[in-house]
Homo-oligomer: A and B are copies of this chain.
Amino acid sequence: MKSMYKITLQLQRCARDITNMSQQAVNGISHRGRVLTLDSMNPNVKRVEYAVRGPIVQRAVQIEKELKEGVKKPFTEVIKANIGDAHAMGQKPITFFRQVLALCSYPALLEDSKFPEDAKKRAQRILEACGGHSIGAYSTSQGIECIRQDVARYIEKRDGGIPSNPDNIYLSTGASDAIVTILKLLVCGEGRDRTGVMISIPQYPLYSAALADLGAVQINYYLDEDNCWSLNITELRRALNAAREHCNPRVLCIINPGNPTGQVQSRQCIEDVIRFAKEEHLFLMADEVYQDNVYAEGCQFHSFKKVLFEMGPEYSNTVEMASFHSTSKCYMGECGFRGGYMEVINLDPEVKAQLIKLVSVRLCPPVPGQALLDLVVNPPQPDEPSYATFMKERTAVLSTLAEKARLTEQIFNTVPGITCNPVQGAMYTFPGITLPQKAIDKAKELGLVPDMFYCMRLLEEDGICLVPGSGFGQREGTYHFRMTILPPTDKLKVVLQKIREFHLRFTQEFS
């Protein structure tokens, strides 16, 4: 009981921190005379929210510190299932990738017989494309040319030969950077003319954060939870028509495979979306960073580019699109390198010139990330010495992920009050949770949204860090959380079991 009291206290403290920050200013920290205060700062930044690293994660970091300092808790470690961070969850890097990166970092190793020839060949090729043969030189702002060529070849292979032009490839600092850059080009106008951007709900909060920052109008379209989080054109049309009353909708963002929802779109659905975008004169943004993360039988990744071109010139010559990819996900999970690219289709050549100008201000994406991206799009080939190891490592990661996707769905669906769609792809599950009315009331009393209250309790009681569904958006009156499936299988089983027990306990407490 005493520990429950403590937890409640902590939650109250937390709620105060989150919801009542301005009060703090009045009570404690004076900001008299300051140039930059909460009141005098950019209001768009204040509107930005990013739940994946929000208050719950800050509390998780704090708890980790407390554990280190010897504070007694009902658990011995915090498991951060809030973010798709594969290496942090124990996934090992792909050997070949890291060998090449070491060679690029310290080229004296090119003389070392311990490194395979194909790794040396790749490193040499990358270094030759760098100024002064050093990854410490700036690259061109669009990214190193031979790497953009490799990206284009990778896309062509992926899309069954549909041509890709290296001039349409822009390397980036992770996918986030490219997404924000394209949105920045698109957002303009005032009042009813302000650019509206359609995003799925649930969404990945980079989108809502970027739209708040840019002062764009966020247009929500809801995914169909009852049908495996599928995208429904009727719902797209509803959202669009409603938005036209108050803004100028110009952009449609799609995440496929879905984050946080894990669905993989059918070819038919993608065709429908493209037709819709053309009819409604929308710029398409296809977030395809999970393109290699497809697990469910019968599901397959179809790139928007490929479907667009298969729909014929009427579409492929007119629909404007940008597709995004990253080194952070898939089988490599190299988040820390911040590598990524986008391919633009049918972008106005004048706008392209503006885009190049805009990216040049930041000089270039990190070159180690560019090098890594080159390896991702140009991995060892069957006739090369590193091929066998590479394939073994790659397959092991992807098949384990597929197993964990199944396991997650299976275990969650045994819990009364948790409903979990199949994790067809990506790295997350977004199950619906039924919360008793008393829990909802208690949350309100504490000034927390109900699923934040739920997740905070789980964190305090079991050391498991999830992200509340409210951070991604959800239909009113429904509650969810996002959990990554990345923990090692054994640990994942423990996590699922603990959540199961917590959920039953929580439900009982408030029934």
User: Interface residues, chain A, CB within 8 Å of chain B?
Assistant: 21-22, 24-25, 29, 31, 33-38, 40-43, 45-46, 48-50, 52-54, 61, 83, 85-93, 98-99, 101-103, 105-106, 109, 112, 114, 130-132, 134-141, 173-174, 176-177, 184-188, 205-206, 209-210, 213, 250-251, 281-283, 318, 320, 332-338, 346-351, 353-354, 357-358, 360-369
CB distance from A393 to the nearest CB of B (A): 13
**Cα separation A48 to B356 with both chains bound (whole Å):** 11
Whether B337 lies near A38 (C-beta < 8 A) is: no
Q: Which residues of B contact A38 (CB under 8 A)?
A: 348, 350-351, 354
Q: Which residues of B contact A135 (CB under 8 A)?
A: 336-337
Among candidates B46, B89, B250, B357, residue contacting A354 with C-beta atoms closer than 8 Å: B46
A-B contact pairs, 15 of them (CB 8 A): A31-B348, A33-B281, A38-B348, A40-B250, A42-B188, A45-B358, A87-B130, A87-B134, A88-B134, A93-B134, A209-B361, A335-B364, A338-B363, A366-B368, A368-B369
* 4 more CB-based (< 8 A) A-B contacts, given A37-B348, A41-B354, A136-B336: A36-B186, A36-B250, A42-B186, A338-B364
Q: 4 shortest A-B CB distances, which residue pairs? A: A88-B131, A336-B367, A102-B106, A87-B134
CB distance from A99 to the nearest CB of B (A): 6
CB distance from A6 to the nearest CB of B (A): 25
Whether A87 lies near B137 (C-beta < 8 A) is: yes
CB distance from A146 to the nearest CB of B (A): 13
Residue of B with least CB distance to A65: B145
Q: Which residues of B contact A318 (CB under 8 A)?
A: 33
Whether B185 lies near A360 (C-beta < 8 A) is: no
**Cα separation A184 to B180 with both chains bound (whole Å):** 14
Q: Which residues of B contact A29 (CB under 8 A)?
A: 348-350
Whether B357 lies near A185 (C-beta < 8 A) is: no
Among candidates B36, B43, B173, B347, residue contacting A347 with C-beta atoms closer than 8 Å: B36
Whether A137 lies near B35 (C-beta < 8 A) is: no
CB distance from A136 to the nearest CB of B (A): 4
**Cα separation A440 to B36 with both chains bound (whole Å):** 45
Whether A42 lies near B136 (C-beta < 8 A) is: no
CB distance from A249 to the nearest CB of B (A): 10
**Cα separation A87 to B367 with both chains bound (whole Å):** 13
Whether B357 lies near A50 (C-beta < 8 A) is: yes
CB distance from A106 to the nearest CB of B (A): 4
CB distance from A441 to the nearest CB of B (A): 29
Known: A106-B98, A106-B102, A351-B37. A50 touches B89 (CB 8 A): no
Q: Which residues of B contact A86 (CB under 8 A)?
A: 136-137
Interface centre among A43, A205, A251, A357 (most CB of B within 10 A): A357
Whether B139 lies near A185 (C-beta < 8 A) is: no
Whether B361 lies near A176 (C-beta < 8 A) is: yes
Whether A36 lies near B283 (C-beta < 8 A) is: yes
Q: Which residues of B contact A176 (CB under 8 A)?
A: 361-363
Q: Which residues of B contact A83 (CB under 8 A)?
A: 138
